[in-house]
Structure formats: structure tokens, C-alpha cells
Amino acid sequence: MNFAFSEEQEELRKVVKDFLNAKSDEATVRELMETEDGYDPAVWTQMAEQMGLQGLIIPEEYGGSGYSFVELIVVLEEMGRRLICAPYFSTVVLAAETLLQSGDDSAKSEYLPGIADGSTIATLAYTEQNGKWDESAVTMIATPDGDSWKLTGEKLYVLDGHIANLIITAARTDAGISLFAVDGDAPGLTRTSLSTMDQTRKQARLEYADVSGKLIGTDGGGWDILERVLDLAAVALAAEQVGGGQEVLEMAVQYAKDRVQFGRPIGSFQAIKHKCADMLLEVESAKSAAYYAGWCASELNDELPSVASLAKAYCSEAYFHAAAENIQIHGGIGFT
């Protein structure tokens, strides 16, 4: 097992980093945060057509590049560094992975090419009013209706649910939890944008009133797919958090070098040195956790469930602490 990235992976990182530096600077992020849709369609198209990012992990037979989850975490780390406003996580990590893990060749052929070329924005509608994340969380009912199904109920906190063309919805049938493909403009579907703390990632409430859906995979086989996709999503979030943690660490170190107090840079004071050293230790440890989780995700091995939880928990704490210390090191300007 080798945790060093290959030359090709490092080149991917550089290309993505340069692209995001140009397209997702702080001013652009703040501007897009204020919009209803929360993304720039022109940049989204560029990401697909010029960069091939939406099709990165989609097999070549469906119009993608066929890379592994390791390449995906390289991209997500750079996206976390730049807080990109785009429906990438919902479309590529949640929806595309659900389709890939479903084993449904018909659904993959129908939906993955659109995701790969950027024409489809997709998401996964899973959580409900109860706020649970286990199997009991899904109470929405799906009933057979000829060749399709009718879905009735409500989904909350659906990432980019207000703009998605394809909404993969978890609902309960007589056989158990199943997954259904629902069109974003399907009759009976009401979509309402929610106010969020993190304005870079939009969420929506979706209300289904006899909404037509097409079964993905097997009836009653949805939970096994969801369980794996949620582990993969946790790994993906950990990679984003590593990128954000690295960025705030670099901001803090640079400010400690530039800010002069009592005739010398504040970075020369022991208290600031200790803060920066602690941040470095945590961010590097977070990288180790996220990279190992990324390897487990690419292998889909037995360790994935436990390692995904470990990485997500550690990277969340490390990112939060690094961000808080960055504010402290910036002093008064950090609060204003």
C-alpha cells in the first residue's frame, strides 16, 4: 500500500487547483452564495466539457473517464480548499455513486452519460423530518402503479434538490427500502429552498404527492446501496475538509509571517508558533485519515464502514479547530 500520489494524480491536482483558483476565488464564492441556484452554469459546463470532472469516476462505457475514488478525493480536496459553489458533491458523489453501486445496467445507461457530460444535475433524497440516518429513517411510501411507482411523503436537507434534474429518492415498499429515479419537474413534486448555515451548499425540502418514480436496482434492495453510498460520502466530505484545513493553515502561517507587532513578526512569538504547530499536526493527521479512507473506498474493502466514520469524525474536528485557530492568529481582523 502506497500513500504517495502518482505523477498523473499530482498533475490532476495541479490542473484542478489552477482551474478553481481562476473560477472560484473568494469574491466569486461570496457572489454565488447569494444567488438562488448557488452555482455558475457556465463554470459547471466548463468543468464537464473541458476538465471532465463530472465524469471522473464514471466508467468509459457511460461517457466518463473511469478513474478510481483516489482521483476523486484529489479533486474534492482542491474543491474544499476553494469552497466551490457547484452541485458537484450531490451529483457525482451522491447520485452517480448510487447508480454505480446499484448494479442496475439499465439505470446506469440511462442516467450516467448525462451526469458525465454535465447536462444532468442529480442528487440523493434520503433524510426526512425524523433526522435519523439509519434504516428506520426512511418512512416515505412507494406503491406500484403499472410499470412505474407512486411516491408520497417528504424529504428534507436534499443537497441541490431545488435545481436537480434527477432526484434519486429512497422510499419504502412492501419489500423494504428501495430507490427510485424521479424527474426534477415531475408532476406532484414541490421543491422549496431552505436557509442554511453553510451557504456554499444549497439544500431543499421536497414534497411528493403521488409523484411518479422509476425503480433503480431491485425492489427492497435499496438499503445495502445506501449504506455503502453514505460511507463513500463520508470519505468524500473528509477529503473536502482536509482541503479546507490545509487552506486555513496556510492563511494562518502567512499572516504570522506578515503581521508585525512590537517590531517583529508575530510568528516569532512562542504562543503563535505553538498554535501553528498544533494546526500542522492535526491537518497532516487528517490527510492520513482521509487518504487511507480514500484507498479503502477505491477498493470497497471490509474496512470501509469503520474507516469512513473515523476519517469523517477526525477530519471534522481537525478542520473546525484549524479554522478557529486561524481566527485567533488573525486577532481582531479575524473577527471583523
In angstroms, what CA-CA distances link 79 with 29, 107, 294? 12, 28, 16
Q: Is the pLDDT assigned to residue 168 strictly greater than 60?
A: yes
Asked if residue 229 and residue 176 are part of one domain, the reply reads: no
* Any domain includes 100: no
The reported pLDDT for the residue numbered 149 is: 97
- Which of 220, 237, 256 is the C-terminal boundary of a domain? 220
Do 149 and 191 reside in the same domain of the chain? yes
In a shared domain, residues 16 and 67? yes
Residue 101 belongs to some domain of the structure: no
Share of the chain above pLDDT 90, in %: 90
Burial class (CB in 10 A: 0-12, 13-18, 19+), 92: buried
Asked if residue 72 has pLDDT above 80, the reply is yes
pLDDT greater than 70 at residue 20: yes
Other CB atoms closer than 10 Å to residue 161's CB: what's the count? 26
289 has a pLDDT exceeding 80:
yes
* Residues 128 and 187 reside in one and the same domain: yes
Mean pLDDT of 277-301: 96
The answer on pLDDT for 2 being more than 80 is: no
Q: Where are the alpha helices (DSSP H) in the chain?
A: 7-23, 26-33, 41-49, 69-82, 88, 97-102, 105-116, 222-258, 270-299, 304-329, 332-335
Would you say residue 34 has pLDDT above 70?
yes
Closest CA to 191 of 170, 226, 216, 167: 167
pLDDT per position as a tens digit, 37-71: 999 999 999 999 999 999 999 999 999 999 999 99
Q: Are residues 193 and 293 in the same domain?
A: no
The reply to whether 211 and 289 lie within a common domain is no
Residue 2 resides in a domain: no
Cell matching residue 312: 469523517
Q: Is residue 102 part of a domain?
A: no
- HEC string for 272-307: HHHHHHHHHHHHHHHHHHHHHHHHHHHHCCCCHHHH
State the CB neighbour count (10 A cutoff) for residue 274. 11
pLDDT in tens, 95-150: 999 999 999 999 999 999 999 999 999 999 999 999 888 999 999 999 999 889 99
For position 335, what pLDDT does the model report? 82
Examine the fold and report which residue of 220, 238, 272 is the final residue of a domain before the chain moves on: 220
Per-residue burial over 113-146, b = 16 or more CB atoms within 10 Å of its CB, e = otherwise: bbbbbbebbbbbbbbbeeeeeeeebbebebeeee
pLDDT for res 267? 80
From the CA atom positions of the chain, what is the Rg in Å? 21
Does any domain span residue 97?
A: no
Q: Residue 325's domain is classified under what CATH number?
A: 1.20.140.10
Q: Examine the domain organization and report whether 214 and 251 are in the same domain.
A: no
Among residues 41, 44, 52, 53, the alpha carbon closest in space to that of 93 is found at: 53
pTM to 2 decimal places: 0.94
How far CA 132 is from CA of 70, 139, 223, in Å, comes to: 29, 11, 14
Q: For position 1, what pLDDT does the model report?
A: 56
What is the 8-class DSSP label of residue 214?
E
- Residue 153 φ then ψ, to 5°: 150, -160
Residues 79 and 163 in one domain: no
Same domain, 197 and 292: no
Is residue 94 situated within a structural domain? no
The total number of structural domains in the chain stands at 3
State whether 211 and 306 are in the same domain.
no
The overall average pLDDT reported for the chain is: 95
Residues 80 and 159 in one domain: no
Which of the listed residues 220, 255, 290 is the one where a domain comes to its end?
A: 220
Q: Tell me the per-residue pLDDT of 203-239, one tens digit each, with 9 for 90 and over.
A: 999 999 999 999 999 999 999 999 999 999 999 999 9
Report the amino acid identity of residue 193: S
18 inside domain: yes
**Residue 252 belongs to what domain range?**
224-335
pLDDT at 260: 83
Q: How far apart are CA 307 and CA 303, in angstroms?
A: 6
257-276 pLDDT per residue, tens: 988 888 888 787 888 899 99
Domain-embedded: residue 98: no
Q: Are residues 237 and 163 in the same domain?
A: no
Q: What is the DSSP string of 139-195?
A: --EEEEETTEEEEEEEEEEEETTTT-SEEEEEEEETTEEEEEEEETT-TTEEEEEE-
